[in-house]
Chains A and B, each alone.
Chain A
Amino acid sequence: MIDISEKRKEVKKKLRKLEGLPTLPPVVQKLCKMIEDERTSLNQIAELIEKDQVITTKVLRLANSAFYGFPRKVSTVNQAMMLLGMNVLKILVMTSSIFDIIHKQDVGLWEHSIGVAACCKIIAERLEMKDAQEIATAGLLHDLGRVIEKVAFKEEHAEIEKLIKQGKDPLEAERATLGLDHAEVGAFLMSQWNIPERLIEAVLAHHNLDLTKKYKKEASIIHLSDFLLHARGYGETLYERVPRLMVESLKILKISLPEIKEIFFSLEPKLYELKFFTEELKNELS
């Protein structure tokens, strides 16, 4: 029998050292330093990103995909910065290598994640929340921990899948094997990357709203979107059946069932467009 609190420490240690994880490209490391330096101008940042064609392409592609839903085409890094804000741009740059891994490792999970991002954006805008694109980005990253489990904790991941097959709840299977679940793993890694607290907390609490301190609404949006995408059946995750819905999240967001219907009707055309986006990525892989 493994000691679960020891295991938890070991997992966190590995995450802290980023062992077995993709390394951030040098340009990203430089970018992070620049963003933290208040003397840096936005133009300097855009210039640096634009020097790296691969990252520029990835960032523009994400900025143009339907989950942000801008009516006009985003064609320069400068525009992306204006529309998405520095926080989101930073996350897109930093995680573009992670997104690569997600869609290479697990296209189903990638589809699920971008569907959740689109839904988060719709809900955040309905509620007139500040920086809806930030919440969409948290939606994009909400299952980051699952990907990390898959690439950096291969043995444990196999064990988790085995337990789920035997009928164990996916979250419990993760906790029993790693000492923490994917929400914690993802949030922990995000905190290592200096991503804003609002996004970290939303990811951390998306299966347990009690873990929030300040951002209960944000976490509720991700939780509800995650549930709605499972209910609609878009992308693939460890759940074959609809997962648990914390009804509390509906109360926190003051969302009624007729509103859920409106959300589904706004979401459906977005999902239709996003399918073309993921199919293109799939074709590039094969």
Chain B
Amino acid sequence: MQRLPLHYIKPGMKTYEEVVDSQGRVLCGKGIELTEEMLKRFQELGVSYISVEGTPVKLPWEKTLETELSELEKRFENVTDETLLQIKEIIRELLLQKFSNKG
């Protein structure tokens, strides 16, 4: 699953979950292949983000789990304070969970 701003979405991508407008109305179900016309309509109705199947777009700023974890270690290098180390552990859990969802 990948959540993307509307202007990243291309016809042919499949919805991963329902598309809703800014007022919460459902515009399109899940598992639907998107067409040019649908995207145009979403634009008019003020849809900002859509979740699509797979990871069709490579975002140049996205890091791998390995990079994220090693940068985390670096940021907390030489830290011994117990509270800070617990915060570091929270971020580690967050990263692990985030990447397992992507899976």
Contacts and interface: CB of A to CB of B under 8 A. Distances in A.
Interface of A: 71-73, 228, 230-233, 240-242, 245, 247, 250, 257, 260-261, 264-265, 268-269, 272-273, 275-276, 279
Interface string B43-80: 00010110000000001010000001001101111110
A231 B74 CA distance: 10
B13 to A, nearest CB: 17
Contacts, number: 62
Contacts of B77: 241
A72 B23 contact: yes
Secondary structure call for the A interface? helix
Given A257-B86, A257-B87, A233 B94 contact: no
A72 B90 contact: no
A250 B3 CA distance: 33
B42 to A, nearest CB: 13
User: What class of interface size applies to chain B in its complex with A?
Assistant: 20 to 34
A106 to B, nearest CB: 17
Contact of B94 (A240, A250, A268): A268
B103 to A, nearest CB: 16
Contacts of A275: 59, 61
Given A231-B76, A242-B84, 7 more contacts: A73-B48, A240-B74, A241-B74, A242-B75, A245-B83, A245-B84, A245-B87
Contact of A261 (B24, B48, B71, B90): B90
B91 interface: yes
10 contacts: A71-B22, A73-B46, A233-B68, A233-B71, A240-B74, A241-B75, A245-B87, A264-B90, A264-B91, A273-B5
A37 B12 CA distance: 55
B22 A73 contact: yes
Contacts of A268: 94, 98
Contacts of B91: 231-232, 264
A230 B74 CA distance: 12
A279 B87 contact: no
B45 to A, nearest CB: 10
A214 B29 CA distance: 51
Given A73-B22, A257-B83, A230 B75 contact: yes
A264 B87 CA distance: 10
Contact of B22 (A72, A228, A240): A72
Contacts of B81: 245
B22 A233 contact: no
Contacts of A279: 61
